[in-house]
């Protein structure tokens, strides 16, 4: 079995030199802050890829697990709650909490057929958002929980001006997640996932415990998504409002996986670069450029690049499924297993 280890290494190495190039550029052209968003979404999408890519279970509520991670991290670390466990324990605890949430949702629902499961996960995403909004004595409702602690290595805690430290921390976590899922997909469990995706009935006959294996995929994906949530809350020093984890986020993660190439790690990284790059680099810079030229703004709905977001996500999904069903950088593993 050969993955696309070369491609993965090249992408991650390029990511590592971005800040160095960035410092040489004028302020308006710098992108390293946006690239941090790419890392967070790449982690989220790698979680989704475990569920939807490896095990073939469409999850339309991955943002809910991100929200659970973010709020778990916030409640464990924020100074207004009694726990205050600090950054590192807080971030590490998002993993078991996310896995537990995945287990709670997955236990009763994983027997459902594919499209029903997709709708249940979508409903779960809406319910989590509503709960976070309505249980405002605990979650602070639409204000979100803040401030949240930053990491430190012995010395003083980082501030917002330490943006390159943040950058490399997120990159390091991304590398760890990539190594983790890469080992996972080559393990016995990973092969079981590929097998149930191809043919559930045949896998069952071969002795794979389908329910258990699906559950592990669901929980693993949820744990990784929760990690992404905890990190993003820490970067912003706030959970933000519950609608920051809405259906749009789940769909962006799905776009990343489908456009990049479902089931492959390199594909997901490329997908994150393309989709998040489009979302938070190209559209933002285009808006800034239009504003500098004095067009756009309030008058015409078509001239504000932000208003094209839904259209771009939608077209990306429709065209990807139609023209490149395997994505931009399809996984190689599958082929060698045929």
Partner 1 sequence: MQPHEVFLQQLITGLSNGMIIALIALGYTMVYGIIELINFAHGDVFMLGAFLALTLLGVLGMEAWSPTWRIGGVAIMLVGSALFCGGLNWTLDRVAYRSLRRASKLSLLVSAIGCSFICTNLGLFWGGVPMEVFAGGVAAAAPKDFPQLIPQTNLLGASAIRITPADIAVVVVTVPLMIGLVFLVNRTRMGRAMRAVAQDATAAALMGIPVDRVIGITFFIGGALGGFASVVYALYNNTIGFQMGYRAGMDAFTAAVVGGIGSLPGAVLGGLTIGLVRAMSDQYLETQWTNTIVFGMLVMILIFRPSGLLGTTRREKV
Cα atoms in the Cβ-side hemisphere of radius 13 Å centred on 119? 4
Which of 133, 204, 285, 332 binds partner 1 (CB under 8 A)? It is 133
**Angular region, 238: left φ>0, alpha ψ -120 to 50, beta rest:** beta
Q: Are 75 and 274 in contact (CB under 8 A)?
A: no
116 lines the binding site for partner 1 (CB under 8 A): yes
138 lines the binding site for partner 1 (CB under 8 A): no
24 lines the binding site for partner 1 (CB under 8 A): no
Token couple for 58: 């469409």
d(CA 44, CA 232): 10
15 lines the binding site for partner 1 (CB under 8 A): no
CB nearer partner 1, residue 207 or residue 299: 299
Least Å from the CB of residue 114 to partner 1: 6
Segment interacting with partner 1, rule: CB under 8 A, options 23-31, 92-100, 119-127, 166-174 = 119-127
Residues 54-73 contacting partner 1, CB under 8 A: 56, 58, 60
309 lines the binding site for partner 1 (CB under 8 A): yes
Cβ neighbours around 138 below 10 Å, total: 12
d(CA 64, CA 44): 11
317 lines the binding site for partner 1 (CB under 8 A): yes
Which of 3, 12, 34, 109 binds partner 1 (CB under 8 A)? It is 109
Token couple for 232: 């993003």
User: Which of 275-282's residues contact partners 24+ apart within 8 Å by CB, and which partners?
Assistant: 275/41, 275/313, 275/316, 276/34, 276/37, 276/38, 276/41, 276/42, 276/252, 277/34, 277/38, 278/312, 279/252, 279/309, 279/312, 280/34, 280/37, 280/38, 281/31, 281/34
243 lines the binding site for partner 1 (CB under 8 A): no
Token couple for 161: 């001006």
297 lines the binding site for partner 1 (CB under 8 A): no
CB nearer partner 1, residue 213 or residue 252: 252
324 lines the binding site for partner 1 (CB under 8 A): no
Least Å from the CB of residue 174 to partner 1: 25
180 lines the binding site for partner 1 (CB under 8 A): no
Q: Are 117 and 180 in contact (CB under 8 A)?
A: no
Least Å from the CB of residue 221 to partner 1: 16
315 lines the binding site for partner 1 (CB under 8 A): yes
Residue that is written with structure tokens 């921390």 in the block? 169
CB nearer partner 1, residue 142 or residue 336: 142
Buried b (16+ CB within 10 A) or exposed e, 119-130: ebbbebbeebbe
Number of residues that bind partner 1 (CB under 8 A): 47
Which of 26, 82, 114, 294 binds partner 1 (CB under 8 A)? It is 114
247 lines the binding site for partner 1 (CB under 8 A): yes
Kindly list the residues in this chain that would bind partner 1 in the complex (CB under 8 A). 56, 58, 60, 108-109, 112-116, 118-120, 122-124, 126-127, 130-131, 133-134, 201, 247, 251, 254, 258, 298-302, 307-311, 313-319, 321-322, 325
């Amino acid at each position: 079995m050969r993955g696309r280890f070369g491609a993965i290494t090249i992408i991650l190495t390029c990511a590592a030199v971005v800040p160095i190039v960035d410092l040489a550029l004028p302020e308006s052209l710098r992108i390293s802050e946006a690239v941090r968003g790419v890392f967070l979404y790449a982690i989220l999408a790698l979680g989704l890829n475990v569920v939807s890519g490896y095990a073939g279970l469409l999850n339309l509520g991955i943002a809910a697990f991100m929200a659970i991670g973010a709020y778990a991290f916030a409640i464990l670390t924020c100074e207004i709650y009694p726990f205050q466990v600090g950054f590192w324990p807080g971030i590490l605890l998002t993993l078991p909490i996310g896995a537990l949430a995945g287990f709670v949702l997955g236990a009763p629902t994983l027997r459902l057929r594919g499209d029903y499961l997709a709708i249940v996960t979508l409903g779960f995403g809406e319910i989590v958002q509503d709960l976070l909004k309505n249980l405002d004595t605990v979650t602070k409702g639409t204000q979100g929980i803040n401030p949240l602690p930053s990491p430190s290595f012995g010395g003083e805690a980082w501030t917002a001006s330490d943006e390159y430290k943040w950058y490399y921390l997120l990159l390091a976590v991304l590398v760890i997640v990539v190594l983790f899922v890469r080992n996972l997909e080559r393990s016995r469990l990973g092969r079981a996932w590929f097998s149930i995706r191809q043919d559930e009935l045949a896998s069952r006959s071969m002795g794979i415990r389908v329910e258990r294996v699906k559950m592990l995929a669901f929980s693993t994906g949820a744990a990784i998504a929760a990690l992404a949530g905890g990190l993003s809350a820490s970067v912003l020093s706030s959970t933000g409002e519950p609608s920051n984890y809405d259906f749009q986020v789940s769909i962006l993660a799905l776009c990343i996986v489908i456009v990049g190439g479902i089931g492959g790690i390199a594909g997901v990284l490329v997908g994150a670069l393309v989709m998040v790059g489009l979302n938070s680099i190209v559209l933002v810079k285009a808006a800034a450029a239009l504003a500098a030229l004095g067009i756009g703004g309030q008058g015409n709905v078509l001239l504000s690049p932000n208003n094209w977001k839904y259209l771009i996500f939608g077209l990306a999904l429709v065209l990807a499924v139609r023209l490149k069903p395997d994505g931009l950088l399809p996984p190689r593993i599958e082929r060698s297993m045929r």
